Structure 1
Amino acid sequence: MNFTIQDSSALYGLLAESTSDVILKTDLGGSILHASPGLDQLGFVTAGTQTPPRLLDLVAPEARCEVERAYTDALAGCRPGQRVEFPAITTDKRQRWFEIQTQALKSESGEPYGALSILRSIDERRSLEQQLFAATYTDPLTKLTNRAAFVSMLEHMVDKKMDGCLALFSIDFFRTINMQYGQSTGDDVLVVFANLLRELLRAEDIISRIGSERFAVLLPRATPEQAEAICKRVITTLAELRQKVGESRFAITASASVAHIGESLDSTLERAEMALFVAKAKGRNRLELEKALQKVRH
């Protein structure tokens, strides 16, 4: 279809009025020369300003470099159709997320003189993505990260050669608790233990539930001595308390192990698992260090 200038203007007017997307016309410097009415509806107020607002004025400071780079690329004809997501602080003081796509406006000689951009709110999509992330990587009972998230984070620490330790915890006689008191009480025990870990561990420690009664803790930058002291406090505190769980009050104990995060994910897990096996074999309700750390300590 061939459109006259008047046709194109009418079509633009229809699109600008009917879509929730915002159409922006900017000059080479990124100043907004025209914006469709939806801009105010998205929470930006541009009317009444003495000087034209700039495109970057809509963007939160931490994202301005990325948006500016994409704008420069569009003017140069690079990476056509590029979409950039960015946070913005709107006039209601809320951080909201937007997506922008920009295309250069060129003269008959092919020289750019400005750009047209489409601005779209993606708050709802970002919210759904966050909910999906939480569902994928969060244990629904304890609200801790799950095994998949734990493995990913441990792998990251190994790849980046980040120093620290891995601790494993296993609630003692958990199957017996389930059989004697019922599964709902068993679930309460897991929540009680998860809350105790949150209370006693450092803010930077990462706690995950990785199995039925098993928990893993990543302790970034902790020395073996620090990790041992932290985990001993958990074991001791738990054993000294008679927890109120459901309709019952009884002692809960746990076995634990500590291993230094090494050169591979598999070796780190294997050393921690072996030390946990030793802790259980020696009577439970205790902490064991991996053999290498025991040798260093002695």
Structure 2
Amino acid sequence: MNFTTQDSSALYGLLAESASDVILKTDLGGFILHASQALERLGFRTADRQSPPCLLDLVSPESRDEVQRAYADALSGAGPGHPVEFPALTTDQRQRWFEIQTRALKNESGEPCGALSILRNVDERRRLEQQLFAATYTDPLTKLTNRAAFVSMLEHMVDKEMDGCLALFSIDFFRTINMQYGQSTGDDVLVVFANLLREMLRSEDIISRIGSERFAVLLPRATPEQAEAICSRVIATLAELRQKVGESRFAITASASVARIADNLDSTLERAEMALFVAKAKGRNRLEMEKALQKVRH
């Protein structure tokens, strides 16, 4: 189809006024010369301003440098014109996320004279991404992070050489509980233990369910002695309580181990797993430290 200048102008007007996306025309300094009506529908107010607003006036301070670089790249032709996401400053006091993509406008001499940008609300997409992230890295039963998230976090701590310890917990005789009371009661046991860990561990500790009846805890900046004291309290408290689970009330115990986060991921896991094996071999309902730090218990 061939459009005259008037046709193109009319078509632009129709698209600009009906779309939920915002179309912005800005000068070389980033000041907004024209904005489609969707700008106000998305919570921005520009009509009562004494001077033209700047594009960066729409952007939260922490993202202004990134948006400014993308805008400068678009004007110079150096950037690929990729979208940039940023939290916006809207007049309704709601935090909203937007994506902006910019292309340079050039005069008859081929020199940049401004830019056209499309501003798109991406709140819904970010919510969906967060839900997908939660589904990927969260255990649906206990709402703790799962094994995939645990491995990633432990690997990060190892790579950054962060001080701390890894604790492993395993509910004792869990298969017997499932067989005697049923799987729904077994699920309740897992939830009860997960909640106990949340209550008794420090706010900075990261708790994950990494297997059927197995839990892992990352204790940042904790020394082996501190980790031993923290985890010993969990084991002792659990054994002292007769938990109400479903229609039954019975004692739940767990075995545990502690290893320093050091060397590499495999070494850290191996040392913690070996200490957990020792705890179970010695009768369960106890905590064992990794071999290098193991203490004599009376």
TM-score by length of 1: 0.96
Residue 62 of structure 1: how far off its partner (Å): 1.4
Which segment drifts farther, 138-147 or 14-23? Answer: 14-23
- Structure 1 position 262 matched with structure 2 position 255: no
| Contact 2:289 2:295 survives alignment (8 Å) | no
The match for 1:111 is 111
| Contact 1:80 1:103 survives alignment (8 Å) | no
Distance in 1 of aligned mates of 2:244 and 2:92: 45
Which letter does structure 2 place at the counterpart of 1:131? Answer: Q
The match for 2:165 is 165
- Aligned-partner SS, 1:145: coil
The match for 2:231 is 231
The match for 2:248 is 248
Residue 74 of structure 1: how far off its partner (Å): 0.8
Which letter does structure 2 place at the counterpart of 1:257? Answer: S
Distance in 2 of aligned mates of 1:226 and 1:205: 12
Gap regions ≥5 residues in structure 1: none
Distance in 1 of aligned mates of 2:137 and 2:168: 19
- Structure 1 position 222 matched with structure 2 position 206: no
Matches within 5 A, 1:83-102: 83-102=83-102
Distance in 2 of aligned mates of 1:91 and 1:240: 55
Which letter does structure 2 place at the counterpart of 1:209? Answer: R
Distance in 2 of aligned mates of 1:198 and 1:152: 20
Which letter does structure 2 place at the counterpart of 1:104? Answer: A
Gap regions ≥5 residues in structure 2: none
- Structure 1 position 135 matched with structure 2 position 135: yes
Residue 296 of structure 1: how far off its partner (Å): 12
Distance in 1 of aligned mates of 2:137 and 2:115: 41
The match for 1:290 is 290
Residue 3 of structure 1: how far off its partner (Å): 4.1
- Structure 1 position 200 matched with structure 2 position 205: no
Residue 80 of structure 1: how far off its partner (Å): 3.1
Residue 108 of structure 1: how far off its partner (Å): 1.6
TM-score by length of 2: 0.96
Which segment drifts farther, 9-18 or 268-277? Answer: 9-18
| Contact 1:256 1:286 survives alignment (8 Å) | yes
| Contact 1:259 1:289 survives alignment (8 Å) | yes
Distance in 1 of aligned mates of 2:278 and 2:296: 18
Instruction: Provide the aligned length of Structure 1 versus Structure 2.
Output: 297
Alpha-carbon RMSD: 1.5
- Aligned-partner SS, 1:134: helix
Distance in 1 of aligned mates of 2:156 and 2:228: 23
Distance in 1 of aligned mates of 2:53 and 2:293: 61
- Aligned-partner SS, 1:167: strand
- Aligned-partner SS, 1:207: strand
Which letter does structure 2 place at the counterpart of 1:126? Answer: R
Which letter does structure 1 place at the counterpart of 2:250? Answer: F
Residue 34 of structure 1: how far off its partner (Å): 0.7
Residue 43 of structure 1: how far off its partner (Å): 1.3
Which letter does structure 2 place at the counterpart of 1:272? Answer: A
1:71-102 C-alpha deviation (Å, 9 max, x unpaired)? 11111112233110111132221111111000
